[in-house]
Amino acid sequence: MTAHPNMHALGGVVLDTVDASRVVTKVTGLDGSAQIRQGLEDKAQQNGQWDAQPFYGARVIQVEGVIEEATPEAANAAADELRSLGLLLSDFVVESQGRGVRTAQVRVQAGIEPEWMGDLSFTYVMTLVAPDPLLYGPVAFGQTSLASSGGGTGLVYPLAYPLDYGVPPGVTPGAITVGNNGTASYFPRLRIDG
């Protein structure tokens, strides 16, 4: 089998293996931009349309591949594994030498219908939909801590300005800067461990 130049995984299921028993042969809808929703309104009794801010729609990705296993039982198990994907948002991960790791959260829009080539191998086509059309790089974590607080005396009256809250100038307790190496602004996800 001829492998696609990238490595793929969907919901933790590896779609490309080193021994080439699982190979993604074609991916469409991943490298281009998502469909653009224009939202233009026709002008009443005039030529043309009113201009409006365009937005990206959902990203539709089609994945084609081949799976070849050593036994009929293993081949059927692989087909069942692919059929089980789809009800929840899953991470679609693509790793390439040129771009590194890119991820999108997707749902399976059209599940696989295996086309068997004997009892050991089959081809499949899956259609995935990413509600968020952006592709994300590796997850970046930063760390911060909440400002420590100690018992104080409270405010002493009469007040003297400027007030001193015990924080050095230019320091925001619990603040963190997270870089965005991509090409679009996005809403970051925050994870709190504690």
pLDDT in tens, 100-122: 888 999 999 988 889 999 999 99
pLDDT given for residue 170 in this prediction: 72
pLDDT given for residue 50 in this prediction: 92
For residue 160, pLDDT beyond 70: yes
Count Cα atoms within 13 angstroms, Cβ side, for 127: 5
Nearest to 166 by CA among 145, 176, 151: 151
pLDDT given for residue 58 in this prediction: 92
Rounded to an integer, the average pLDDT of 46-64 is 91
Rounded to an integer, the average pLDDT of 123-140 is 88
For residue 123, pLDDT beyond 90: yes
Rounded to an integer, the average pLDDT of 65-90 is 91
Rounded to an integer, the average pLDDT of 39-58 is 90
Pick 69 or 144 by higher pLDDT: 69
pTM for the structure as a whole: 0.72
